[in-house]
Amino acid sequence: MLKGFKEFIARGNVVEMAVGVIIGNAFKGIVDELVTDILNPAIGALFGKADFSKSFILQIGDSQLLFGALLTAIINFVLIAFAVYFFIVVPMNYFAKMRKKAEDAAPKEVSEEVQLLTEIRDALAKGDRA
């Protein structure tokens, strides 16, 4: 039973996923600080406040519908998505494109068999029967 568990854990996908979760959790702090300390104050400067959780409250009897809290959560989601896209996805796509260009520009090595077959083809095309 432990042997199977060890094989499962030792698989590359599980280890890579675990590393991704750990790094993602650490990166969450950076994104949270970006939203909390940079983007939310910018929204606050534009709209007067960045937290709408105490606004847009609908009172129905003893219950409250907190539309402002929902609006704040939606704004935070959009800001996080914006930050992740422009600070992570766009640069990674740029570097992937640059790496692909470098790989495409590098001369491809031709095997000996392909070189020999090319020479035979060219000789046959010329009509050499040597």
The three-state DSSP-derived secondary structure of the chain is CHHHHHHHHHCHHHHHHHHHHHHHHHHHHHHHHHHHHHHHHHHHHHHCCCCCCCCCEEEECCEEEEHHHHHHHHHHHHHHHHHHHHHHHHHHHHHHHHHHHHHHHCCCCCCHHHHHHHHHHHHHHHCCCC
Q: What is the pLDDT of residue 128?
A: 60
pTM flag (> 0.85): no
Q: What is the pLDDT of residue 130?
A: 54
Distance CA 94, CA 91 (A): 5
pLDDT < 50 positions in the chain: none
Q: Which residues pair with 64 in a beta bridge?
A: 59
Q: Which architecture characterizes domain 2-125 according to CATH?
A: Orthogonal Bundle (1.10)
Phi then psi for residue 111, to 5 deg, are: -70, 160
CB atoms closer than 10 angstroms to residue 43: 18
Q: What are the residue ranges spanned by the domains of the chain?
A: 2-125
